[in-house]
DNA sequence: AGAACCGCCTGCTTGC
DNA sequence: TGCAAGCAGGCGGTTC
């Protein structure tokens, strides 16, 4: 599942291969995806990330916005054949990029090129005081809030569990009961964990692969996600799995206890 | 207004 | 063995 580190990994790889090169052709294999005729023969001027969205800036003020959602990935290759689960292909002089996506949730849009100033990205212009004023007082579980793209861009289900475990805060804590110190701690660990995951080229639990089809290495760094019933590496208690908002949450009741403000 | 819930999808796993 | 049900979840849209 591509979250911020996985998307950042792809952006870095795309930057090396595509910036300055023209899109020679685009092929659509899935009619859920629009066939944008105007991107043909247009050069890629920059690759950017906005939360989990990959932006291919073209000239004339247009950008391709690719969101991989659940099972989407981008693969660089030189094959002429249609690849399994491929939905879309961009052809460059040096190779092709395919959008591989078995569950067909990924989206591709054309939009006006705009600067990232409106993004609440932890690594660019995250505004802690605005977060504390507008998001922190909300009456939702802290885990739900961390995953809300309106609140913080880029944190998905895997990293939300990992961040809260490292910060020693229960996913069942009501956001509005957390103090400034606790929020600062959460975001300190968020940056730490996401940065490490970028260095490891993402978390390959099931289907995540980078632009060259290679798995990441961050799955070896996970402490709670997917580890129900195993011992917590901090305190040794059993890691539990619960459902929050229809998603799985993994946590340790030992080192993520609740003294107050359960949601 | 804000929180909770639903739908989009298909491959894999689990249970009878 | 085979089939059906359950599960995975980002996020926009809808409902409460």
Share of chain A above pLDDT 90, in %: 83
3-state secondary structure A153-220: ECCCHHHHHHHHHHHCCCCCEEHHHCCHHHHHHHHHHHHHHHHHHHHCCCCCCCCCCCCCCCCCCHHH
CB A208, CB A1: distance < 8 Å? yes
3-state secondary structure A24-48: CEEEECCCCCCCCHHHCCCEEEEEE
> Tens digits of per-residue pLDDT, A34-76?
999 999 999 999 999 988 999 999 999 999 999 999 999 999 9
Instruction: Return the pLDDT at A208.
Output: 87
Taking CA atoms, A246 is separated from A224, A235, A249, in Å, by: 18, 27, 9
CA at A247, C1' at B4: how many angstroms apart? 13
CA at A103, C1' at B13: how many angstroms apart? 17
Indicate if the alpha-carbon torsion angle A227, A141, A51, A71 is positive or negative. positive
Asked whether the predicted pLDDT for residue A110 surpasses 60, the reply is yes
Instruction: Return the pLDDT at A205.
Output: 84
> Tens digits of per-residue pLDDT, A199-216?
999 998 877 899 999 999
Instruction: Return the pLDDT at A259.
Output: 75
Indicate if CB(A103) is under 7 A from strand C.
Answer: yes
CB A18, CB A56: distance < 8 Å? yes
CA dihedral A125→A138→A190→A119, nearest 10 degrees, is -30
A155: the nucleotide nearest its CA (via C1') is: C10
Instruction: Return the pLDDT at A124.
Output: 77
Instruction: Return the pLDDT at A117.
Output: 52
Taking CA atoms, A36 is separated from A23, A52, A89, A128, in Å, by: 12, 21, 12, 38
| SS percent in chain A: helix, strand, coil, step 5 | 25, 25, 45
Residues 12-31 of A with CB under 7 A from strand C: none
- pTM for this prediction: 0.93
Q: Which bases on strand C have an atom closer than 7 Å to a protein beta carbon?
A: 7-12
Average pLDDT value for chain A: 92
Indicate if CB(A1) is under 7 A from strand C.
Answer: yes
CA at A111, C1' at B4: how many angstroms apart? 31
> Tens digits of per-residue pLDDT, A171-183?
999 999 999 999 9
> Tens digits of per-residue pLDDT, A72-105?
999 999 999 999 999 999 999 999 999 999 999 9
């Amino acid at each position: 599942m591509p979250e911020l580190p996985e998307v950042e990994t792809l952006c870095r790889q795309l930057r090396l291969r595509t910036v300055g090169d023209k899109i020679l052709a685009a092929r659509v294999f899935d009619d859920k995806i629009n066939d944008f005729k105007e991107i043909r023969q247009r050069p890629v001027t920059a690759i950017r990330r906005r939360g989990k969205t990959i932006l291919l800036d073209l000239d004339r003020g247009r950008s391709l916005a690719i969101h991989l959602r659940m099972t989407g990935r981008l693969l660089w290759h030189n094959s002429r054949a249609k690849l399994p689960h491929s939905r879309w292909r961009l052809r460059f002089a040096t190779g092709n990029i395919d959008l591989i996506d078995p569950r067909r949730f990924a989206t591709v849009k054309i939009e006006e090129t705009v600067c990232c100033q409106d993004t609440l990205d932890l690594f660019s212009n995250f505004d802690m005081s605005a977060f504390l004023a507008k998001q922190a007082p909300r009456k939702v579980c802290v885990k739900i809030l961390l995953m809300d793209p309106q609140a913080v861009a880029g944190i998905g289900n895997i990293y939300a569990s990992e961040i809260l475990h490292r910060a020693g805060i229960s996913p069942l804590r009501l956001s509005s009961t957390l103090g400034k110190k606790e929020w600062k701690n959460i975001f300190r660990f968020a940056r730490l964990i996401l940065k490490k995951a970028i260095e490891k080229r993402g978390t390959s639990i099931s289907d995540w692969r980078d632009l060259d089809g290679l798995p990441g290495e961050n799955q070896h760094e996970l402490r709670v996600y997917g580890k129900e019933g195993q011992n917590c590496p901090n305190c040794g208690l059993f890691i539990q799995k619960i459902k929050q908002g229809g998603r799985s949450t993994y946590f340790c009741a030992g080192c993520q206890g609740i003294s107050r403000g359960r949601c």
